[in-house]
A and B are shown apart, each in its own frame.
Chain A
């Protein structure tokens, strides 16, 4: 996407194995596949970043969620998981992982032999050139993570589908056995006799800590409670084993004796890879107690880069192609995509305002309805105002900047009233991004 037709034709390929014609073909492919899947990829990456952050900032949200256990940004999380259409949506989204992998590999192929592309970025250049340079530069440096996001994202949906369908081949005798193979043997059923004494959970927890010092417990469940066949299950994460807590479990009998342990460790390579998929995709680094926060930050930054790469790619494509476009092409390839994307950004920030409204005014707001309403209205407004697109973008930037600053200021005020200052890093991030939007919007307005 970051290369013009003329640029491409002018490339000096003397001594290079790749011919101009082939490079041109790679460029066309990268450009058209990116243009076709770009809008959807942007939506997936944008909602993915919110899902990633939501996992870490539960406490930050909590102050706004006095009446509801549900997260305010639940619509964005569901959008990322399954597009609100359940399992088919999950499969559909995972196919975009393949598209992202294809686009990324084509991009690398296009620029692999041009070393200067790996370092070139002139921030003082016109917007179009900055976009092209940053698209290329970030794309090359973030490539391992782009592939990582695409493969783990694809496996998140296709893995589940493959487990169900291929079990007929690998477990032809009884396909249901695949789940027992995956999750381990189930807990024995209740005996039907009342227990004589309840389990000493605190003693079991202490014993577990001694037996498994590299294990961080996260959840304690009592199975068959009240029955003689009751079991205490401690699930959590084992340090150094990339596995979510549903696969890392220690089960104790009623008398405190260790009954069974479940772990992804020492299992087959491919099965371990599948088990590791969820924590890796969702940036859950609890299994790295010392470096977890660092790798989460890298994960978040790379996800933001991926979003920037997609956004800048779309920007380049829309700006470059419109000269030859007919009216319907402008509608389909410019107005609708810009409307959808700006609507999504505006609606996401609208959810922050919605959270404050619930807390301050104590009213019920259906966050999903609000989210889609703002998205739809902004998309329509963008399409109608497309002739004044620069003015529209200034309004959008100023409004988004205002929402982010307002939210963080209200949150900080509430924290100060309560006398606690926790999770202010989120507020600082919101203030920073909001201020940048306001400054950029004001500068564009004055220009």
Chain B
């Protein structure tokens, strides 16, 4: 049970990090002149993204596919964030 708990925590942390990075990316690149509207769009869409990724990551029975699904987003989003120059 302890091992399962650790594995589930790894998936949840990966999903939360992915959602945070996704929100940051949206806040930076979303085409909207209104900065405050962009900020809340990124929060809402980030939350919906987080819920969707959480469900999608939990579906496989094996640990590794779950790991890829939750942490894989970070590999995709982080370079874009670096290129766009997030401080």
* Interfacial residues, chain A to chain B (CB-CB below 8 A): 25-26, 29, 33, 36, 98, 101-102, 105-106, 151, 154-155, 158-159, 162-163, 166-172, 178, 181-182, 267-271, 273-274
Contact = CB atoms under 8 A, between A and B. Distances in A.
Interface of B: 8, 23-24, 27-28, 32, 34-44, 46-47, 50-51, 54-55, 58-59, 61, 86-87
Contact of A102 (B28, B32, B51): B51
A170 B36 contact: yes
B85 to A, nearest CB: 10
B37 A98 contact: no
B40 A159 contact: yes
Contact of A168 (B47, B55, B58, B87): B87
Contacts of A181: 35-36
Contacts of B47: 98, 151, 154-155, 158
A154 B54 CA distance: 15
Contacts of B28: 169
A170 B55 contact: no
Contacts of A163: 39, 43
A182 B36 contact: yes
A283 to B, nearest CB: 21
Given A269-B37, A274-B43, 18 more contacts: A25-B61, A29-B59, A101-B51, A102-B58, A106-B55, A155-B43, A159-B43, A163-B39, A166-B27, A166-B42, A169-B39, A170-B39, A268-B37, A268-B41, A270-B38, A270-B39, A270-B43, A271-B36
A101 B28 CA distance: 27
A169 B44 contact: no
4 interchain residue pairs of minimum CB distance: A268-B37, A270-B40, A162-B43, A270-B41
B18 to A, nearest CB: 13
A162 B23 contact: yes
Contacts of B36: 170, 178, 181-182, 268, 271
Given A162-B46, A166-B23, A172-B87, A105 B39 contact: no
B40 A98 contact: no
Contacts, number: 89
A34 to B, nearest CB: 13
A170 B38 CA distance: 7
Contact of B54 (A102, A155, A158): A102
21 contacts: A26-B59, A33-B58, A98-B54, A102-B58, A105-B51, A155-B44, A155-B47, A162-B39, A162-B46, A163-B39, A166-B23, A166-B43, A171-B35, A178-B35, A178-B39, A181-B35, A268-B40, A270-B37, A270-B41, A271-B36, A273-B40
Contacts of B51: 98, 101-102, 105
A178 B36 CA distance: 7
Contacts of B24: 166, 169
Nearest to B15: A98
B31 to A, nearest CB: 13
B61 to A, nearest CB: 6
A434 B71 CA distance: 50
A274 B59 CA distance: 31
B77 to A, nearest CB: 14
A208 B32 CA distance: 34
B83 to A, nearest CB: 15
In this complex, which of A151, A169, A172, A269 has the most chain B Cβ atoms within 10 angstroms of its Cβ? A169
Contacts of B55: 102, 105-106
Nearest to B42: A166
Nearest to A181: B36
Contacts of A162: 23, 39-40, 42-43, 46
B35 A170 contact: yes
Q: Which of B8, B39, B44, B61 has the most CB of A within 10 A?
A: B39
A29 B56 CA distance: 11
B76 to A, nearest CB: 18
Nearest to B51: A101
Given A98-B51, A268-B32, A274 B58 contact: no
Interface centre among B8, B43, B54 (most CB of A within 10 A): B43
B55 to A, nearest CB: 6
Nearest to B29: A169
A34 B58 CA distance: 14
A155 B61 CA distance: 30
B60 to A, nearest CB: 8
Contacts of B44: 155, 270, 273-274
Contact of A170 (B8, B27, B59): B27
Q: Which of A98, A106, A151, A172 has its CB near the most chain B CB atoms (within 10 A)?
A: A98
Nearest to B61: A25
Contacts of B37: 267-271
B47 to A, nearest CB: 6
